Structure 1
Amino acid sequence: MLRQLGRAAWRWTDGRLRAAQLTRTALTKVFPDHWSFMLGEIALYSFVTLVATGVFLILFFVPSSAETIYGGSYAPLRGSSVSAAYASAIRLSFDVRGGLLFRQVHHWSALILLGAIAAHACRIFFTGAFRKPREINWLVGVTLLLTSLANGFIGYSLLDDLLSGSGLRIGYSIALSVPLVGPWLAFLLFGGEFPGDVIISRLYGLHVLLLPVLIATLIAVHLAILVRQKHTHFAGPGRRDSNVVGSKLWPTYAFRSLGLLSGVLAVTFGLGGLVQINPVWVWGPFEPANSTTPAQPDYFLGWVEGMIRLFPAAEFWVFGHLVPSPFLPAVALPLLMVLVMYAWPWLDRLVTGDRGRHHVAARVRERPGRTAVGAWAVAQAGLLLFAASDDLMARWLSAPVEDVVAVLRIVVLAGPPVVAAVAYVLARALRAYPESTLMTLEPRHVGEALGLSRPRPSRRAAPEGGPGARPEVPSEDAPQVVNAGGGHAD
C-alpha cells in the first residue's frame, strides 16, 4: 500500500516537474576520486554541524548586556553581578544537560570550517583551478572565506567573557582608526563609547541570521556553478578538458560522502567531548578596566594580531586628519591582501598570458612562479600567527618582549622570501624531472634548476602515437566512469 502511494506521488510530481529526468541526470554526474576534492566537503559538513549545534545553543543563550546576579551551580561565580550573556554561557556549560558538549562542538566546528576553507582555497590556488572559466567561483569562494572569518569573530565575541571582551576592544580600536568614517562606524556598531549596551544584541543578529544566510547562499551558488561548469580533475590516463573521470554520484560517491559526513561528526563531537576549548568560567566576566594577558585570538585571526603587534607605531596626518597607528597593520594591509586575492585570476592571466579554458588541474610543479607566490603567502600567514604570541615567547625565553619583537620582525620579513625561493627552485627541478617527487629529487636536479650544473642527457618518452608509444588506458585499481561532452553534462 505504501509502495503504491509512493509511486503515485512520484508519478504526480514527475508529470509536473519532470523530476525523473532531472534525478537521472543528477545521479549519473561524475566526481573525481582524488582526496583533495573532499576538502570542500569537510567545510560543507562543518557548516552543517555549526547550524545544528547553533540551533540548540539559541534555545539557552541570552544575547543581552543587562546586568544580572549569577545564581547557577558554578560556585566561584555565584552571587556575582555579570551580564546576562555571560551568565547564560556559564549556565550552558554547567546546568544545561549537554550544553558544554554542544558549546565546544560548535567552537571546534567553526575552527575546522575555516581551516577546511583555507586548505580548499590553497588546493584551488596551487592547481590553477581558478583559471577560466572558474573566475566567478573563485570570487564566491574568497567572499565565503571572508564571511566565515567575520562570523567566527562575532561568535567568539558574544559570550562577554574577559577574553572575548579584549578582542572586541581591539576591534573597536581598529574601527576608530579608519580616517573620517571610523568614529561614526564604531558609534553605529557599538551604540556609543566602548563597550556600549547594544553590541551583543547586534552581533547576535548578525551571527545567527544574516551571516549564516549569506554563507548558506554562497555555498549554494558555489555548488551550482560547480555543477554547471563541470568539476576539474587531475591529469592522467584518459583525462582531458572535455570529460571528467571518477565515480558516479550514485551510489559510489554518495556513500563515500556520507562516510565523510560521519567522520566529520565523529571528529567534532570527539573533540567537543574530550578536548576543552574556551573555558569562559576561567577567563571571568569582561570588565573594561581589566586586561587579559596573555590573550590570544583563535588561529584564524592570529595573523591580524601578529601584524598589529609587530608593526611600528606609525601615526601620520592626511589632509588634516590623523591616521592612528592601528590603521596600517589592521586595515590597510589586510584590505590590500583581500584585493589581491579577489584580483588573482586576472593577475595570473596577465603574467602567464594563459587565456584558455581549463578543466584539467595543473600540477603544482608546472608553474614555479605561482607556487612561489603561494608558498610566500602561506609562510607569511603562519609567521604572523606565530608572532601573535610574542608575549608568551618572551615569558618562555625569559627575554624582554622588545627583543622578541625585534627578532620576529626580521623573521617575518626575511622568512617568506626564503620559503618562496626554495619552493620556486624545487618546483623547477620537479618540472624538469616529472618522474621525480620531493623524496626522490636528487641534489644534481636542484643544481640544474639553479643553473649550477648542466643537465645530463636522458631518455625521452616516445611521442604520442609514435613507435613505442603506450596508449592511455584508465587505471583499473578503482571503478572509473568517464563522462564526455561540454557544458554541464559531465
Structure 2
Amino acid sequence: MKRRRVDVSAIPAKTAGGLDDRFQAATPLRNILNKVFPDHWSFLLGEIALFSFIILLLTGTFLTFFYTPSLTTVTYDGSYAPLRGVHMSEAYASSLNLSFDVRGGLIMRQMHHWAALTFVAAIVVHMFRIFFTGAFRKPRETNWIIGLLLFWLAFLMGFTGYSLPDDALSGTGLRIASAIMLSIPVIGSWVTTSIFDGEFPGTVIMGRFYIAHVFLIPLTILALISVHLGLVFKQKHTQWPGPGRTEHNVVGERFVPRYTIKQGGFFMIVFGVIALMGGLFQINPIWLFGPYEAYTVSAASQPDWYVMFLDGAIRLFPAWEIRFGGYTIPSMLWPAAVLPGVLMLLPPIYPFIEARLTKDYRSHNLLQRPRDVPARTALGAMAIAFWIVLTLSGGNDVIADKFHISLNAMTWAGRIGLLLAPPLAYYVTYRICLGLQQHDREVLAHGVETGIIRRLPDGRFVEVHQPLAPVDEHGHGTLKYAGWVIPKKMNRLGALAPAIRGFFFPIEKPAEAPVSPGHPPVTARPDREEITK
C-alpha cells in the first residue's frame, strides 16, 4: 500500500481553516491585526506604563515566593551582621533574607521598586499628554476616567507594597495613614479598627495589605487596562493633524507586523533600563532603617515621589481644629482626606465641564496643540505649579537642614508659594500660548525668515522672508492655520541639511531633504550642491 505524503507546509493553513470553521474567528482577528496605530513619540508614554506594569507582575511574582506577611516577632539570624540578634517582625526578617540570602533577590526587589515608580510616572505624564492635547474629549471620556482610576489604584498599590517590608520608614508611613483615618469625623475610629483589627498596628495588617497588593489591586488594574485597550481598538486612536489625516481615518502602521515588532523592541528597552536601574542605583535600603518600632520616628523620612504632595499639604496646613456638635475635626482632615477627595472628584468631570462651557459636543479624533487652547493649557500649568509647591514642601525639613534655612521660613514660603505660584503659572502660560499663536500666524502671513538682509534704495535694511505659498495682492500668504506645526526654518522648506558626521554615519549627502508634514520631498539637484568646505 502506497504511503500518503503529508505536505508539512500546508499544516498551518489547514489548522487555521479548521479553527475558523469551528469558531469563526478570522473576521474579528483580521480586524484586530489590521488595526492602524499612528506613529508619534508621545503615544509611547502609555506603552511605558503598560510595560512597567508587566515588569511589576514578573518581579512581584518572584518576590512572593520568599516574603512572609506576618508581624510575628522573631530573632534575626541572617547574613546582615549589624542586625543579627535583633528582635523584629517576620515580614522584616523575610525582606532582609530576600535582599541578602536569596540569589538575585536584591536586584529583583530594586527592579520591582523602580518599575513601580516608573509605572506611576508614566501614568502621570501620559495623563498630562491626554489633557493638554484634548484627547479626553468625546467619545473618550470613559478612557479618561479609567486612566484616573488607574493612577489612584497605582497610588494605593504603591503604598501597600511600600508598607510590606515593615522597616522603620514604611512603618512611619503606615502610622501616618492610621492618623489620617482617625481624623475623619464620626467614622474615623471605626475605619481604623476595622482595617487594623483593633489598635494600631495590630497583628493582621500585613496579611491584609499583602492580599490587596498581590491580588486585589493588580487584578483590578489588569481589568481596567484590558477595558482601556479595548476602547482604544473600538474608538480608534487619536492622531495629530497632518496630511491625509481627518476625523474619520487613522494614518500610521498596522498592528501586525511592524507596530508589534516595534513595541516588542520597545518593551525590551524599558525592561533593560529598569534592570540597569535595579542593578546600579540603590533604592529603599531597608537594612539601614532597621525594624519599625512604634515609639521611634526618624527625621527626614520622605515617602515615594508621588506621595510627597500629600506630605507637603499636611506640613503646610495650619494646625486649626474645629469643634462642632461635640466632635473635634483635627487639622489633618483637610489636607490628607479632603484634598485627595477633591482631586479624585474634579478631574473625572472636567471633560463634561469643558464641553458645557465651550458648547462643543462633537466627537473628536484629531488632537489639539496646547498653544491653540490657552485656557486649558494654563489651567494644567496651574495644577502642575500647585503640585510642585506641595511636593517641595514635603521635603522642607531636608531642604532647611542642607541649606541652613529656618524650617519655619520654609513652611511659610510654601504657604505663600501655594497661593501665588498657581495663578502666576496660569497667567504666564496663557500669555506664552497667545504669543506662540501670534508667531504661527506671522509666519503664515509673511513667510519664513531666511537670514538674508536686503538694503533698500532709501538706506533701510529689511529681512527677506520666504513665503510658504503664493501671496495675495498685498504680499500676504494665503495659507490658513490648520492646527499643525508651521515650518519656521529654511531647511524645513527644502534646503539641504548638512551631512551627518560621526562614527556611526557615513559622510555623504542625503538623498532628499528633510521636510515638514504637508510639503513634498525635495530631491537633490546639481544647483543645490552641499557646501562641505
TM-score normalised according to structure 1 size: 0.89
For residues 60 and 394 of structure 2, the distance between their equivalents in structure 1, rounded to whole angstroms, comes to: 29
Identify the range of structure 1 (248-257 vs 213-222) with the bigger mean alpha-carbon deviation.
248-257
- Where does 1:2-13 land on structure 2 (aligned, <5 Å)? 5-13=11-19
Aligned positions of 1:118-157 closer than 5 A: 118-157=124-163
Aligned with residue 436 of structure 2, among 424, 430, 440:
430
Whole-Å separation in 2 of the counterparts to 1:190 and 1:473: 59
Q: Mark the CA change 1:79 to 1:249 in structure 2 (over 3 Å): closer, same or farther.
A: same
Report whether the alignment pairs 1:388 with 2:405: no
Q: Is the 8 A contact 1:238 1:473 kept in 2?
A: no
Could you say which residue in structure 1 is the equivalent of 2:96?
Answer: 90
Moved more, 2-11 or 76-85: 2-11
Q: What does residue 325 of structure 2 align with?
A: 319
Name the structure 2 match of 1:303: 309
1:236 partner letter: G
CA deviation map 1:433-470 (0-9, x unaligned):
32689xx99xxxxxxxxxxxxxxx98342469xxxxxx
CA separation of 1:314 and 1:102: change in aligned 2, threshold 3 A: same
| C-alpha distance in structure 2 between counterparts of 1:97 and 1:179, whole Å | 48
Aligned-partner SS, 1:149:
helix
Q: Structure 2 vs 1, CA of residues 55 and 473 (structure 1 numbering), >3 Å: closer, same or farther?
A: closer
CA deviations on 1:367-418 (whole Å, 9 max, x unpaired) are 1000011001112112211110111111112233112111121122211211
**C-alpha separation in 2, matches of 1:399 and 1:373:** 32
| Partner in structure 1 of residue 206 of structure 2 | 200
Q: Secondary structure at the match of 2:323?
A: strand
1:236 match: 242
1:213 counterpart letter in structure 2: L
The residue that corresponds to 1:461 in the other structure is 478
User: Deviations along 1:244-289, whole A, 9 cap, x unmatched?
Assistant: 1111112221111111101110110000000000000001100000
Return the offset for 1:242. Answer: 0.5
Tell me if structure 2 keeps the 8 A contact 1:42–1:116.
yes
Task: Answer yes or no: is the 8 Å Cα contact 1:296–1:302 preserved in 2.
Answer: yes
CA spacing shift, 1:62–1:187, aligned 2, 3 Å:
same
Match of 2:264 in 1: 258
Cα-to-partner distance string for 1:230-251 (whole Å, 9 max, x where unaligned)? 1100111111101111111122
Letter of the 1:47 partner, please give it. F
Once residues 99 and 373 of structure 1 are traced to their aligned partners in structure 2, the CA distance between those partners, rounded to angstroms, is 44
Distance across 1 between alignment mates of 2:254 and 2:10: 29
**Structure 1 residues 436, 162: CA separation in 2 closer, same or farther (over 3 Å shift)?**
farther
Structure 2 partner of 1:16 = 22
**Aligned match of 1:186:** 192
Cα shift at 1:76: 0.7
SS of equivalent residue, structure 1 residue 238? coil
In the alignment, which residue of structure 2 is the partner of 1:51? 57
| Alignment partners' CA distance in 1, 2:424 and 2:345 | 24
Alpha-carbon distance in structure 2 between the residues aligned to 1:293 and 1:282: 14
Instruction: Answer yes or no: is 1:81 the counterpart of 2:87.
Output: yes
Aligned to 2:225: 219
Q: Which stretch shows the higher mean deviation, 90-99 or 309-318?
A: 309-318
Residue 303 of structure 1 aligns to a residue in which SS?
Answer: helix
**Change in CA separation of 1:436 and 1:411 when aligned onto 2, cut-off 3 Å:** farther
**1:189, distance to aligned residue in structure 2 (A):** 0.6
Relative distance call for 1:251 and 1:187 in structure 2 (3 A) is same
CA contact (8 A) 1:32 1:231 kept: yes
Tell me how far apart the structure 1 counterparts of residues 519 and 120 of structure 2 sit (CA, whole Å).
34
3-state SS of the aligned residue for 1:220? helix
1:167 aligned residue = 173
Deviation at 1:17, TM superposition (A): 1.9
Q: Report the CA distance shift for 1:67/1:131 in structure 2 as closer, same or farther (over 3 A).
A: same
1:102 to 2:108 alignment? yes
Secondary structure of the structure 1 residue equivalent to 2:253: strand
Percent identity over paired residues: 43
Equivalence for 1:111: 117
CA positional deviation for 1:14: 1.2
Is the CA contact 2:185–2:328 (under 8 Å) kept in the aligned structure 1?
A: yes
392-401 vs 326-335, which deviates more? Answer: 392-401
Aligned equivalent of 2:279:
273
The answer as to whether partners of 2:110 and 2:278 remain within 8 angstroms in 1 is yes
1:338-357 correspondence runs (5 A) = 338-357=344-363
Is 1:415 paired with 2:421? yes
The residue type paired with residue 305 of structure 1 is D
Q: Distance in 2 between matches of 1:297 and 1:97?
A: 28
1:405 pairs with one of 402, 407, 411: 411
> In structure 2, do the counterparts of structure 1 residues 289 and 428 end up closer, same or farther at CA, with 3 Å as the change threshold?
same
Q: 2:354, 2:480 → 1: CA distance?
A: 30
Distance 1:292 1:390 in 2: 15
Amino acid paired to 1:136: T
Given the alignment of the two structures, is residue 209 of structure 1 paired with residue 226 of structure 2, yes or no? no
The CA distance in 2 between the partners of 1:388 and 1:16, in whole Å, is 60
Counterpart of 1:366 in structure 2 is: 372
AA aligned opposite 1:130: F
Provide the secondary structure at the position in 2 that maps to 1:233.
Answer: coil
Tell me, yes or no, if the aligned pair for 2:242 and 2:517 is still in contact at 8 Å: no
Q: Which amino acid aligns with 1:35?
A: W
Name the aligned partner's letter for residue 364 of structure 1: P
In structure 1, what is the Cα distance between the partners aligned to 2:64 and 2:520? 50
In 1, Cα distance between the equivalents of 2:403 and 2:479? 60
Counting matched residue pairs gives 453
From the CA coordinates, give the structure whose radius of gyration is larger. Answer: 2
Deviates more, 1:13-22 or 1:261-270: 13-22
SS at match of 1:140: helix
Tell me, what secondary structure is at the counterpart of 1:379?
helix
Q: TM-score, normalised by structure 2?
A: 0.82
Say whether the 8 Å CA contact 1:430–1:436 is kept in structure 2: no
Change (3 A) 1:474 1:431: closer
For 2:251, what is the secondary structure of its paired residue?
Answer: strand
Q: Which residue of 2 aligns with 1:450?
A: none
| 2:435 aligned partner, one-letter code | A
**Equivalent residues of 2:99, 2:109 under 8 A apart:** yes
For 2:250, what is the secondary structure of its paired residue? strand
Aligned residue for 1:194, secondary structure, equals coil
Tell me by how many angstroms 1:302 deviates: 0.6
Q: 1:327-365 CA deviation, whole Å, 9 max, x = no partner?
A: 000011121122111111111112222111100011101
The 1:458–1:66 alpha-carbon spacing in structure 2 relative to 1, beyond 3 Å, is farther
Give, in whole Å, the separation in 1 of the partners of 2:520 and 2:111. 40
* Structure 2: stretches of 5+ with no match in the other structure: 1-5, 450-473, 482-515, 522-533
Query: Per the alignment, do residues 250 and 166 of structure 1 end up closer, same or farther by CA in structure 2, a change over 3 Å counting?
Result: same
How far apart are 1:476 and its partner, in Å?
7.3
